[in-house]
Chain A
Amino acid sequence: MRGISWQGLAVAFGALGLLTSLQTSDDDNPHARAPRGVSLVVTEGAYLRAPGADWFAERAKAEPGRFTHDATLAGGIGGWVDAKGEYWFVEMEEGEWVYNQWASPERLTAGRRDFVQFCSSCHGLEGDGYGRSAQHLRPTPRSFQQNKFKFTKVIADLPSDEALLAVIRRGLAGTPMLPWDLSDVQLLDIIQYIKSLSPEESGWRDVYSQVGDAIEVTEDPWVDIKERAIVRGREVYHGAASCHLCHPGYVTNEELRVIRKDPEGTTYRENLTYPALKDSEYEVLGRATKVMPPDFTWHQLRAGITTADLFQTIASGIKGTAMPQWKGALPDEDLWALAHYVEDLIVSYKDQRPERSAFMGGLRTSGDNR
């Protein structure tokens, strides 16, 4: 050690310390945290909740060699066995058997790397939603520690890999969430990683979570009678479903009274033709953000504007927001009618400025509308 100049070392370290103190890391702002000490390796695998037996039955048709049903499993309950060893049927509590998916450390590492490379600028290096590009951004990018996803179109608590994949592939229109040009392998690895970000006992690490696919697109009963669907949809929208409580009402006060069969002289909410700001479960910087239900003639819908997309979104609801699940609450044909009606609103008035101002202006100046 004699050859080392200790003074020199001290000066060098002093200079390093000085340099490090030069930084303007703004630690109060979670968006501007200095991205250092970022690990790109995941050393532990994760067991993540998988969808139920129905899903396996479907998958078994696609991959017959891989999934086999074993009736003797679980003391006679019977379960699916995955030859690849990715999915496992295990007893979580006495008598309660669930499917789990094993994400290996290698797979999570691959997903982590792609996540850091592709997703972290908005969703944050640790998936908490505090990326640098996410500051001031509304709607906020998802925090993957919250395990809620708006537009996956599933009814279950959590979306399946396929449902998440569809969202990432499609992107969310009108937001910086792009349609991603990545391979399925990459995206599925990223998805496993995102799922593994669930805190203990929540999300995909929660034994009670139900995982499901996007809601099935049932047969459209109005396929040849669209006009009737639109009329019916208009009635449901302003009647049984009362969509106008949050979304704008697209009728005059008098028309609404007729649809709702209310007595003469009934009045409705102020600004009936405007949406109303609603609470959501999505938190940023420790407080819940609010979301605005879209005006279909004005705002861009995030998850597609085909009739099937609209049906799925209405039926499944939008997780974490005021938009409830309608499947089961209304018959499917009404949901389809609603989808047709909303699609008609979009096609007729969105970005059709003269038509829209004539339509909405007509509603607003009809005299009986406050």
Chain B
Amino acid sequence: MSSDHIHPEPTTFLRKHVFSTDHKVIAKQFLWFGLIWLGIGGIMAMMLRWQLANPGVPVPLLGGLLFPRTGGVIDPASYNTLFTMHGTIMIFLGLTPAMIGALGNWCIPLMIGARDMIFPTLNMLSFWAMFAGGAVGFYSLFVPLGATEAGWTGYPTLSTTVGGVGQGETLWAIAVFLIGASSIMGGINYITTVIRLRAPGMSWMRLPLTVWGLFLTSILNVLFVPVIGSAMILLVLDRVFGTSFYVPASIMSGGTGGDPILYQHLFWIFGHPEVYILILPAWGVVCDLLSFFARKPAFGYRTSVGSMVVITVLSAVVYGHHMFTTGLSAMLGESFMLLTMIISVPAEVLFFNWLHTLWKGSLRLTTPMLFAMSVIFVFGLGGLTGIYLATIGTDIFLHDTYFVVGHFHLTMAASALFGTFGAVYFWFPKMFGRMMSEKLGKWHFWLSFVPLVIVFCIMFISGYAGMPRRYYDHTSVEYLRPLQHLNVATSVAAFLLGAAQLIFVFNFIKSRWWGKPAPQNPWDVGTLDWTIETPVPHYNFKTIPVVQCGPHEFSNPVLGPDTDWIYQTEKLPD
């Protein structure tokens, strides 16, 4: 049924490179799109760190250009815009396309032995909806009063006209809605493709874990992104048409009308799964990469899959831990606390499996491997600090401080980002037919990893010391003034982290066009994507392969002493 899934190779430039329905081109489009936005979001982060370390000092280089009316100083409103758009861009326009869009599009058909996604046009629409979302988001920066200032969470009533009448917030909501639509389209596509287009013999338990991660992510996308879509529609209605879903009357006149907490529920029903939406593909990649480069089967494949499934299910029912201080009833609070604690069990299983995969392996410390291992480190750090925030007793104090900022950057940002980097370094040869420089890759890794850990670990300290997040200038409050040294140190490390990404940009661009030509299978890996030649032909597989074994049959004694791996299309010797 799936074998004749063929559409003809396009001939015009437009159909080939712009409005392409080929999953490989769309993957590259998503990758470029995501990387450019990651760059923009990163520059915003640098400006934020500049302001925090040197409140009121003009931003060097960019300041005069971006903030001419203030002589290069970031004014408080622009600061809010910056951190809001930094969050929105990184999550929705950076990691989502780079992780899910690019990786999903590239890996799913190639790793399951399909010729394309099952709905190629929907796939194209998914990219262009994302592109439209990005365009609207970018445009919102330039409307009168500027883009949104309500934080990436966009809590009403600050995000309604009560908080500001500029059009930026409306455009932001529309942008998020469009990006959400893109995610839903992609999600439907991924789920159906994985279910319907697996090559013969590619049973569920022979799927590479990357595909499992992407598959579960897509389920979450399809289930929960519509929730934020509806939240955004209500927000737009409130802003443009004067409804009051979120705007209550004052308590002195009875408190009737809308309810701002409604939005928080809607947002976090989406928002918490969003964390797993970003992290599940990274976990899948890490599971695979660890096994590939430790030359060892992924330890406990079934328990890993099971853990990811359990996390997928649980992620929907723990969202309340974001709202411990909003005024949840004691019963709700305790329930969410318990559920949140329970979700740590499958995560522990994953850690156990990862570490066990490395144990007694034969480690090849390539750049993708380094990034994969660093995910264990940073996600370990981020996940464990989640316990502080899952516990209401400590969350009451730590909520909305830099502790939270450090925590979620390590879990969802750094882990997903390092997972993405690992994936890019790993699949780059297949994507572009050239190798990325390993030397520069290792420099990039170490210069990213060390400052990153420093940046967010200092944030734990400042959060514990009571520094609230989203403050324009911590030196304005006497209580926070003695903490400024932490801000300065964080910023120095953050600038290093930012500078290190230039190495990646250089390496990426140089390798893309001038890199060493890549062999067909540079990593000695047996999954289906490496069975085909480089560059990948339009139909991926001349004949649909028949899968004979699992993806991680490394160092199997039956292979004999000369080789330690086997293609999935090959049969294991008896």
Interface, chain A (partner B; CB < 8 A): 16, 19-20, 22-26, 29, 32, 34-36, 38, 40-41, 110, 113, 116-118, 120, 125, 132, 135-136, 181-183, 185-186
Contacts and interface: CB of A to CB of B under 8 A. Distances in A.
A182 B164 CA distance: 18
B145 A117 contact: yes
A69 B45 CA distance: 51
B165 A186 contact: no
B253 A22 contact: no
Contacts of A32: 249-250
A122 B503 CA distance: 48
A132 B70 contact: no
A22 B252 CA distance: 20
Contacts of A38: 165
B56 A181 contact: yes
A181 B237 contact: no
Query: 8 smallest A-B Cβ distances: which pairs?
Result: A183-B70, A24-B257, A35-B161, A40-B144, A38-B165, A23-B242, A22-B243, A24-B244
B161 A34 contact: yes
B165 A125 contact: yes
B162 A20 contact: no
Interface in B252-276: 252-253, 256-258
Interface in B164-199: 164-166
Interface in B216-237: 237
A116 B165 contact: yes
Contacts of B252: 136
Contacts of A20: 241-243
Contact of B164 (A19, A24, A36, A117): A117
A40 B242 contact: no
Contacts, number: 74
Nearest to A40: B144
B243 A29 contact: no
Contact of A16 (B56, B241, B253): B241
A306 B144 CA distance: 40
Nearest to B77: A117
B161 A36 contact: yes
Contact of A182 (B70, B146, B243, B257): B70
Given A32-B249, A185-B70, A19 B237 contact: yes
B339 to A, nearest CB: 34
Given A35-B165, A113-B144, A186-B69, A181 B256 contact: no
Nearest to B167: A40
B95 to A, nearest CB: 30
Interface in B15-40: none
Given A32-B250, A40-B144, A186-B75, A117 B244 contact: no
Nearest to A125: B165
B109 to A, nearest CB: 38
B522 interface: no
Contact of A181 (B144, B250, B473): B473
Contacts of B247: 24
Interface residues of B, number: 31
Given A35-B161, A132-B162, A181-B473, A26 B145 contact: no
30 contacts: A16-B241, A19-B241, A20-B241, A24-B244, A24-B256, A24-B257, A24-B258, A25-B242, A32-B249, A32-B250, A35-B162, A35-B165, A38-B165, A113-B145, A116-B145, A117-B145, A117-B164, A117-B166, A125-B165, A135-B250, A136-B252, A181-B56, A181-B473, A182-B70, A183-B69, A183-B71, A183-B73, A186-B69, A186-B70, A186-B75
A36 B164 CA distance: 11
**Which of A20, A24, A35 has the most chain B CB atoms inside 10 A of its CB?**
A24
Contacts of B70: 182-183, 185-186
A155 B54 CA distance: 39
B472 interface: yes
A29 B146 CA distance: 29
A181 B75 contact: yes
A110 to B, nearest CB: 7
A220 to B, nearest CB: 30
A281 B26 CA distance: 67
Contacts of A35: 161-162, 165
Contacts of B164: 117
B84 to A, nearest CB: 14
Contact of B249 (A24, A117, A183, A185): A24
A110 B166 CA distance: 14
A188 to B, nearest CB: 10
A26 B249 contact: yes
A226 B146 CA distance: 53
B76 interface: yes
Contacts of A29: 253
A41 B144 CA distance: 9
A25 B473 CA distance: 36
A130 B145 CA distance: 20
A14 B77 CA distance: 38
Contacts of A135: 250
- Of the candidates B237, B242, B250, the one having the most CB atoms from chain A within 10 angstroms of its own CB is B242
Nearest to B146: A117
Interface in B117-168: 144-146, 161-162, 164-166
A176 to B, nearest CB: 15
A98 to B, nearest CB: 30
Contacts of B77: 117-118
